[in-house]
Amino acid sequence: MIHEACTILKETQTLFVLTGAGVSAESGIPTFRGSSGLWKNYSATELATPQAFKKNPALVWEWYHWRQSLIVNAEPNPAHYALVKLEEIMPHFLLLTQNVDSLHQRAGSRNILELHGNIFRTRCLRCDRVAPYKIPEKKSDKILPTCSCDGLLRPDVVWFGESIPHAIWQRAQDFLSHTDTALICGTSGVVWPAAAIPEIARQNNARTIEINLEPTPVSSIVDISIQGKAGDLLQQLISGLNQ
Ligand code: OAD
């Protein structure tokens, strides 16, 4: 399987990569689904909603502060670094990530689009200002962060039921319209619209490769589905490309 994937990548001039939480799992960042998606008996998918924030913003912030502190103390892993290498090797490359943790950027990825926002930015519910977020040092400021206009801040991420950034989706579509190969890595393939990407790539005659620990709804759509850890498999792909 790795060998076939390498053959495809050797013929690829234009590579589109979609990543999900599985790529950051080896950095110790819990994924959203599965047992590691649980926090204090809440599932991640229950907390990442506008309704949850409206009902209990302090609880949702507590969860985001917890995730932020995990991420700040985490390091990019071999999967992130292998994707940086792939970007260097490919003449044309675009990485679309559903991750909000900036680990791709910290590893050195450059041509990257964030589909679900970024956990280190906030948006004011009153004045709509988007600003970088630093974790407050005083515990009391952590409960409900506010803007200089006194409005309540929320994490600048896309929650369930909210629209994804149109311009980013459009840029991804434009790239997909002329991509040779799409690599789908570490995503459960159940959250739309990212879940549509393998099918969109196929409709554009791109070859498709999936890397995931386990089979997903994407596995039956792609040309090659490889099971294992993203860090190991992506590093093997790079070694194969260098041979
Ligand atoms: P999920 O938590 O749904 O899925 C993570 C996927 O990564 C699963 O399919 C795992 O099998 C796989 N996985 C775990 N560890 C891996 C490893 N070491 N190597 C390879 N694969 C591994 O995460 P996403 O698909 O990213 O959105 O979820 C999509 C969106 O749903 C997230 O961006 C988030 C979430 O709710 C919002 O918060 C809006």
Which atom of ligand 1 lies at the shortest distance from residue 32's CA?
2
Query: Are both 1-27+76-116+165-243 and 30-73+117-157 of the same fold?
Result: no
Span from the CA of 32 to the centroid of ligand 1 (angstroms): 6
Residues 6+ apart with CB under 8 A from 106: 75, 76, 80
Q: What percent of the chain has pLDDT over 90?
A: 87
| CATH number of the structural domain 30-73+117-157 | 3.30.1600.10
Whole-angstrom Cα distance, residue 111 to residue 94?
5
CB burial string 186-217: b at 16+ within 10 A, e below: bbbbebeebbebbebbeebebbbbbbbeeebe
pLDDT at 8: 97
Q: Parse the chain into domains and list their residue ranges.
A: 1-27+76-116+165-243, 30-73+117-157
- HEC states along the chain? CHHHHHHHHHCCCEEEEEECCHHHHCCCCCCCCCHHHEECCEEHHHHCCHHHHHHCHHHHHHHHHHHHHHHHCCCCCHHHHHHHHHHHHCCEEEEEECCCCCHHHHHCCCCEEECCEEEEEEEECCCCCEEECCCCCCHHHHHCCECCCCCEEEEEECCCCCCCCHHHHHHHHHHHCCCCEEEEECCCCCCCCHHHHHHHHHHCCCEEEEEECCCCCCCCCCCEEEECCHHHHHHHHHHHHHC
Span from the CA of 208 to the centroid of ligand 1 (angstroms): 18
pLDDT at 242: 86
Instruction: Report the nearest-CA residue for atom 33 of ligand 1.
Output: 98
pLDDT at 45: 81
- Do 83 and 238 form a contact (C-beta atoms < 8 A)? no
Instruction: Report the nearest-CA residue for atom 14 of ligand 1.
Output: 22
β-pairing verdict for 92-97 and 112-114: parallel
pLDDT at 43: 87
Q: Which CATH architecture has domain 1-27+76-116+165-243?
A: 3-Layer(aba) Sandwich (3.40)
Span from the CA of 67 to the centroid of ligand 1 (angstroms): 15
Classify 41 in phi/psi space as left (phi over 0), alpha (psi -120 to 50) or beta: left
Which atom of ligand 1 lies at the shortest distance from residue 194's CA?
29
- Do 6 and 237 form a contact (C-beta atoms < 8 A)? yes
Span from the CA of 23 to the centroid of ligand 1 (angstroms): 8
Instruction: Report the nearest-CA residue for atom 2 of ligand 1.
Output: 32
pLDDT digits (tens, 9 = 90+) for 161-174: 999 999 999 999 99
Instruction: Report the nearest-CA residue for atom 32 of ligand 1.
Output: 98
pLDDT digits (tens, 9 = 90+) for 171-223: 999 999 999 999 999 999 999 999 999 999 999 999 999 999 999 999 999 99
Res 229 pLDDT > 80 = yes
pLDDT band at 141 (very low <50, low <70, confident <90, very high): low
pLDDT digits (tens, 9 = 90+) for 88-132: 999 999 999 999 999 999 999 999 999 999 999 999 999 999 999
Q: Is the pTM of the predicted complex or chain greater than 0.85? A: yes
β-pairing verdict for 14-19 and 92-97: parallel
pLDDT at 139: 67
Which residues does a 6 A CB cutoff place in the pocket of ligand 1? 20-22, 25-26, 31-33, 37, 45, 48, 98, 116, 157-160, 186-188, 191, 211-214, 216, 229-230
Give the residue-averaged pLDDT of 34-41. 76
**Residue positions annotated with a catalytic role:** 116
